Structure 1
Amino acid sequence: MRRAAQVPVWLSILLFAGGSSLVGADEIRVAVASNVVGAARVLVDRFEAATEHSVVLASGSTGKHYAQILHGAPFQVFLAADERRPRLLAESGRAVEGSRVSYARGRLVLWSPGESLVDAEGGVLATGDFAYLALANPRLAPYGRAAKQVLENRGLWEALEGRRVMGENIAQTFQFVRTGNAALGFVALSQLEAPERSMGGSRWLVPETLHEPIEQQAVLLADEPAPRAFLEFVTGEQGQAILRDHGYEVP
């Protein structure tokens, strides 16, 4: 019996989102880091309303998107959660020359739906008044890497080894906390501050002195007018205002 052909995950996402045809004259395929997908949906709505183009978003961890791009995923724009992967794509010639740009600066938050669990200094991490702590996989997700750096700076990475729950990306990490599978977790400020979904609970806005800056960069992967127009919209006045409204600092 012949085995059915295996369809790559990125191809399944694009097929689901874009219908039977992956390529349309004005269709833009965008790989977007999980932390920014809420803002990206608003960006897409405003961009599509102002132009004749349509945008297909594929969300996931920056590390996975990077691997997919290296293996030929047909994305035209990459909105990453760090500066490293866009830089590597630019240095290897896989990105359009001169297109790498910073579009946002993310902030890390320790958050719990519980109203009093997380204190203003993050002291709960040391007191251990919780069963599980969620964070994104540091190998794949820049926000997870920042969370690991915070725990290392506090001398708690090893101490919390049996109580850490790792999400593949920051979206899954957020769900772990929101659904109660973890009492608290390191999430993106943008996940709590979106105008359409302001979250309560208790939080600690992590000082940036405890981790490397979360500098979010983008690159063009196809030198075509429509993808370039979308990236220019993201980095333009209207796009930057949308990102600011979703909890990001902007360049």
Structure 2
Amino acid sequence: MEPSSEQRVSSRGRSHLQAVCLLLGLWAMASPTWAAEVIVAVAANFSAPMKEIAASFERETGHQVSLSFGSTGGFYTQIVHGAPFQVFLAADDETPAALERDGHAVPGTRFTYAVGKLVLWSPGPLVDAQGKILETGKFAHLAVANPKLAPYGKAAMQVLQKRGLAARLEPKIVRGQSITQTYQLVVSGAAELGFVALSQVHEDGKVKGSAWLVPQEDYDPIRQDAVLLVRGKDEPAALELLAYLQREPARAIIRRYGYSFE
């Protein structure tokens, strides 16, 4: 029998609690704590909030945070081939789960640190509030992240397919290798509009430029999971950072950039 939505939410809640408990246990075993460096791979869409969170974490703990930003798919390849990351903040929940299954992440440490939102965006007044510009096709180029590497690109293609526009608009699509590169394609004028993360254009409750907030039913939820990688399992700074991500100071920053938690 297929589990009900309430059962699935309950299951995710239990998993989240288990992850918190495990991280706290690992953190306790890793004491005594001293100032150290934690090396973090961060999905490109989460660049701005993570810079703020890292700065706050450093002030509070004395640890140093080394951040690398890029596509989730690209980071998967790097991690599998031995990149020295200790913590991974992905743009989906599938990639951290795969790393766990493949023995590159510590089992039971995964949790959803944010749920992302997709927007069709232009720095000018081009995009209407219902996204009808896609149907008119009155633009030369549409920026979309590579769906094989970036979950936001995968979500964008789901939107176009659901609305029967994927084939018609394919000749106009220009692809970025990450959501950051996709955003830059629009900002630079290489594309007049593009599908980007709400966090990239959301400041203090307002969206700069023009945007269509894509309805959630048009694409699979973008649950962004964090996970402790094997290289970080004995590193106090890595454990503390993951615990900090689940505390209110970090969550307040995450909310300010337009993310939710469910």
Same fold (TM over 0.5): yes
SS of 2:239's equivalent? helix
| Corresponding pairs, count | 226
Question: How far is the alpha carbon of 1:198 from its aligned partner?
Answer: 6.0
**Does the CA contact (< 8 Å) of 1:38 and 1:194 recur in 2?**
no
**Does the CA contact (< 8 Å) of 2:73 and 2:150 recur in 1?**
yes
Match of 2:256 among 213, 226, 245: 245
Which runs of 5 or more structure 2 residues have no equivalent in the other structure?
1-33
CA–CA separation in structure 2 for the residues paired with 1:142 and 1:48: 29
1:30 aligns with 2:26: no
Choose between structure 1 and 2: higher helix proportion.
2
1:118 aligns with 2:124: no
TM-score by structure 2 length? 0.84
Question: How far is the alpha carbon of 1:96 from its aligned partner?
Answer: 1.1
CA–CA separation in structure 1 for the residues paired with 2:221 and 2:206: 24
Question: How far is the alpha carbon of 1:93 from its aligned partner?
Answer: 2.1
1:174 aligns with 2:168: no
Structure 1 residues 160-207: Cα deviation after superposition (integer angstroms, max 9, x where no partner): 111000000000110111111101000000001144x96522110000
Match of 1:105 among 112, 115, 119: 115
Match of 1:49 among 56, 59, 83: 59
Structure 1 residues 23-81: Cα deviation after superposition (integer angstroms, max 9, x where no partner): x9601000000000110000010000001200000000000001100000010000000
Structure 1 residues 120-151: Cα deviation after superposition (integer angstroms, max 9, x where no partner): 11111010010000010000000000000000
Q: Runs ≥4 in structure 1, deviation > 2 angstroms?
A: 197-200
CA–CA separation in structure 2 for the residues paired with 1:141 and 1:233: 25
TM-score by structure 1 length? 0.87
Q: Which runs of structure 2 are paired with 1:32-111 in the superposition (5 Å)? A: 32-111=42-121
SS of 2:165's equivalent? coil
Which runs of 5 or more structure 1 residues have no equivalent in the other structure?
1-23
Q: In structure 1, what residue type is equivalent to 2:169?
A: L
Q: Cα RMSD over matched residues?
A: 1.5
Q: Find the counterpart in structure 1 of residue 215 from structure 2.
A: 207
Q: Which runs of structure 2 are paired with 1:223-238 in the superposition (5 Å)? A: 223=233, 224-238=235-249
CA–CA separation in structure 2 for the residues paired with 1:72 and 1:88: 15
